[in-house]
Amino acid sequence: MAKNNQLENIRHSCSHLLAMAVIRLFPKAKLGIGPAIENGFYYDFEFKKAIVEEDLKKIEKEMKKIQKEKIKFEKKEITPKEAKELFKNQPYKLELIKDLEKEGNKKISLYKSGDFIDLCKGPHVGNSSKIGPFKLLSLAGAYWKGSEKNKMLTRIYGTCFEDKKELDEYLKMLEEAKKRDHRELNKTLKLYLLSDEIGQGLPILLPNGAIIAEELEKWAKKTEEKWGYVRVLTPHIAKEELFKKTGHIPYYLESMFPSMKMEEKTNEENDIYYLKPMNCSMHNLVYKSEIRSYRDLPLRIAEYGAVYRYEKSGELHGLMRVRGPIHQNDAHIFCAEEQAEEEFGKVMELHQYYYNALGLTKEDYFLSFATRGKNNKNKFIGDEKMWKRAEKITLGFIKKSKIPYEIEEGGAVFYGPKIDFNIRTITGKVFSASTNQIDFFIPKIFGLKYIDKDGKEKTPVCIHRAPLGAHVRFIAFLAEHFAGAFPLWLSPIQVIVIPITDKQKDYAQKITGRLKEEGIRVKLESRNQTASLKIREAEIQKTPYMIIVGEKEVKAKNINIRARGGKVIGNMKLDKFISLLREKIDKKRQI
């Protein structure tokens, strides 16, 4: 939604302006829909012949022409029958009219602007000259009605503001966002690889990306060991029955990969396997593998579990939104009900520990609390009492915490309410970094028990949590947050050693060897290029430190250091530099 109604009107009218221009230039184009959206608008078309980015300029020119023609926007209402006649050459509009008719609408609302008529509820601005300054931004593929079962249309995105200054500011911000876009940064940083040969949304983490994943993982494992977690390693697949038990089938089936049918191998017809979309079912089995006593609780079972989720191809986005592998910093805490609030509180604390360590402030994240909402109870499982209890505990905690939060009606997971930690990137993108739930449902379904102090069998509560979320998403976020200049401890290459001429190669080699021994990720830049070129390249790579060695350094047995961003640190002994590095890495806070 646009920020205010006036802006929304302008943007919606601008989408009609776009459609008018397209029809003038490509009379055979078929029209989809064209709404105002946050920050702009779009319109979907089916073109006879695919258009390219270059065509946007032509369309924009035509739009400006029409804008000046002061064409009036006029509302009309006709019967469905008349509408079907009017749009007989527009199959997508026809489909929409039929949908409206099915819903019982006796009147169909239209907007006419010059020769152009669109199916539309409005409202619009008075005439085309009232549309503010605009800009077409990009082309994308989009399935009709968002379903991959339908045809893919061409979506043209644009934006429009009330005045030129606002538009320019927005475009400048987009420019900055583009530079920070992890897909753009990836071209120089080489963090990941998407390959058509593997399939859509299935990235490989290249050596640089794998180093960051490994560092995050080491850090999380060490941290959570201190916080009392034990670790397991579970399979990526399991039988259909297991996911039926947890309710993932049918409630989450849409987001799961297609099945593997063992009958291809054996005679067993009902032997069907799925890639797991979540780790919880397996951690429940770990809990259940022994008789548990109140003394064992809380039992915190953790795993960097890799899950797979089917996302529509249009929703895939670099490392931010993938199909897999989603290596989650996952865990399930099994505890007595009376421990649940305290444990949930600790989970929240743990999130804040991680975020503080990464230098994120409270401006960078907020909570959202997702409930069942009112009208879609069939999307959820479990009884009323359980939901009320879970909602009470979680909401109680949120209110106590000082983190801002939003309520998201109807966004709960099928088995319980959830609290998401949402991170806002510097360019305003918001994504869910971690999901947390108190779950009364799954322990019950699995028949989990513990023997309490009084000798009675009781059912534990399960807390789902995943601070740092998935490797891929978190790496993408960090790349954008730091504009590629990762903190020292996460930098794939921490130090680059640059000899000024060939004469210093031996000395440079010695320094490199020493740093390697100390566990520093170091690279010797020994190509026959000028030192200034090598420094420039290291800057592009956002390498935290450059050691430059010339004759002076060889004689003085020291090194000359520059930090990224052109900051000259000057000369010092290698030993001193190593201890500075170690200190920074151990603090994990410095950039």
Of 155, 346, 418, 481, which one is the catalytic site residue? 418
Q: How far is the CB of 298 from its own copies (least distance, A)?
A: 14
Is 160 an active-site residue? no
| Interatomic CA distance for residues 67 and 548, integer angstroms | 59
Does 242 help bind its own copies (rule: CB under 8 A)? yes
CB 43 within 8 A of CB 14: no
Q: What is the identity of the amino acid at 183?
A: R
Does 251 help bind its own copies (rule: CB under 8 A)? no
**Candidate residues 69, 126, 146, 237; the one interacting with its own copies per rule CB under 8 A:** 237
Provide the mask over 305-344, with x wherever binding to its own copies is found by CB under 8 A and - wherever it is not: -x-x-x--x----------xx-x-----------------
Tally of CB atoms within 10 A around 187 = 7
Is 464 an active-site residue? yes
Longest dimension (CA), the chain: 92
Residue closer to its own copies, measured from CB, 234 or 491: 234
Strand duo 134-143 + 260-261: pairing: unpaired
**Candidate residues 94, 285, 445, 493; the one interacting with its own copies per rule CB under 8 A:** 285
Strand duo 74-78 + 116-119: pairing: unpaired
| Interatomic CA distance for residues 3 and 183, integer angstroms | 28
Does 238 help bind its own copies (rule: CB under 8 A)? yes
The closest of 250, 229, 206, 59 to 136, measured between CA atoms, is 59
Does 257 help bind its own copies (rule: CB under 8 A)? yes
Locate tokens 């992890």: which residue? 182
Q: How far is the CB of 382 from its own copies (least distance, A)?
A: 20
Contacts of 91 (CB under 8 A, 6+ apart): 30
Residue closer to its own copies, measured from CB, 86 or 524: 524
Does 262 help bind its own copies (rule: CB under 8 A)? yes
Cα–Cα distances (Å) from 260 to 192, 322, 339, 354, in that order, read 28, 21, 40, 38
> What are the beta bridge partners of residue 435?
420
**Candidate residues 49, 149, 374, 385; the one interacting with its own copies per rule CB under 8 A:** 149
Tally of CB atoms within 10 A around 419 = 25
| Interatomic CA distance for residues 334 and 337, integer angstroms | 9
Residue closer to its own copies, measured from CB, 222 or 388: 222
Residue closer to its own copies, measured from CB, 161 or 304: 304
Structure tokens at 176: 């900055």
Q: Which stretch binds its own copies (CB under 8 A): 302-310, 335-343, 437-445, 535-543?
A: 302-310
Is 332 an active-site residue? yes
**Candidate residues 54, 266, 363, 566; the one interacting with its own copies per rule CB under 8 A:** 266
- On the CB side of 369, how many CA atoms lie within 13 Å of its CA? 17
| Interatomic CA distance for residues 387 and 381, integer angstroms | 9
* 3-state secondary structure at position 49: coil
Structure tokens at 436: 């947390």
Q: How far is the CB of 258 from its own copies (least distance, A)?
A: 4
Of 12, 276, 309, 521, which one is the catalytic site residue? 309
Residue closer to its own copies, measured from CB, 190 or 449: 190
The closest of 288, 300, 341 to 449, measured between CA atoms, is 288
Does 471 help bind its own copies (rule: CB under 8 A)? yes
Residue closer to its own copies, measured from CB, 54 or 290: 290
Q: Which stretch binds its own copies (CB under 8 A): 44-52, 301-309, 483-491, 559-567?
A: 301-309
Residue 563 phi, psi dihedral angles, 5° rounding: -95, 160
Which H or E run includes 172?
A: helix 164-180
Q: How far is the CB of 264 from its own copies (least distance, A)?
A: 4
* 3-state secondary structure at position 483: coil
**Candidate residues 259, 401, 432, 571; the one interacting with its own copies per rule CB under 8 A:** 259
Q: Which stretch binds its own copies (CB under 8 A): 67-75, 153-161, 267-275, 380-388?
A: 267-275
Of 118, 181, 330, 439, which one is the catalytic site residue? 330
* 3-state secondary structure at position 492: coil
Which alpha helices (H) appear in 133-163, and where do they start and end?
Answer: none
Provide the mask over 102-141, with x wherever binding to its own copies is found by CB under 8 A and - wherever it is not: ----------------------------------------
Q: Which stretch binds its own copies (CB under 8 A): 179-187, 224-232, 437-445, 558-566?
A: 224-232
Q: Which stretch binds its own copies (CB under 8 A): 29-37, 56-64, 227-235, 581-589?
A: 227-235
Q: What is the identity of the amino acid at 57?
A: K
Q: How far is the CB of 296 from its own copies (least distance, A)?
A: 12
**Candidate residues 104, 115, 187, 289; the one interacting with its own copies per rule CB under 8 A:** 289
Q: Which stretch binds its own copies (CB under 8 A): 117-125, 180-188, 266-274, 477-485?
A: 266-274
Residue closer to its own copies, measured from CB, 246 or 504: 246
Tell me whether residue 207 is exposed, middle or buried, using C-beta atoms within 10 angstroms of its C-beta: 0 to 12, 13 to 18, 19 or more.
exposed
Is 120 an active-site residue? no
Q: How far is the CB of 267 from its own copies (least distance, A)?
A: 6
Does 203 help bind its own copies (rule: CB under 8 A)? yes
| Interatomic CA distance for residues 309 and 472, integer angstroms | 13
* 3-state secondary structure at position 103: coil
Q: How far is the CB of 82 from its own copies (least distance, A)?
A: 34
Please give the residues from 181 up to 200 whose contact with its own copies meets the rule CB under 8 A. 190, 193, 195, 197-199
Of 30, 44, 55, 328, which one is the catalytic site residue? 328
Total binding residues toward its own copies, as defined by CB under 8 A: 60
Q: Which stretch binds its own copies (CB under 8 A): 23-31, 258-266, 390-398, 549-557?
A: 258-266
DSSP 195: -
Structure tokens at 525: 């830049």
| Interatomic CA distance for residues 250 and 259, integer angstroms | 13
Cα–Cα distances (Å) from 556 to 172, 546, 549, 569, 572, in that order, read 48, 18, 10, 16, 10
Residues belonging to the active site:
280, 309, 328, 330, 332, 418, 464
Residues forming the site for its own copies (CB under 8 A) = 148-149, 190, 193, 195, 197-199, 202-207, 209-211, 213-214, 221, 230-239, 241-242, 245, 257-267, 273, 275, 282, 285-286, 289-290, 301, 306, 308, 310, 313, 324-325, 327, 471
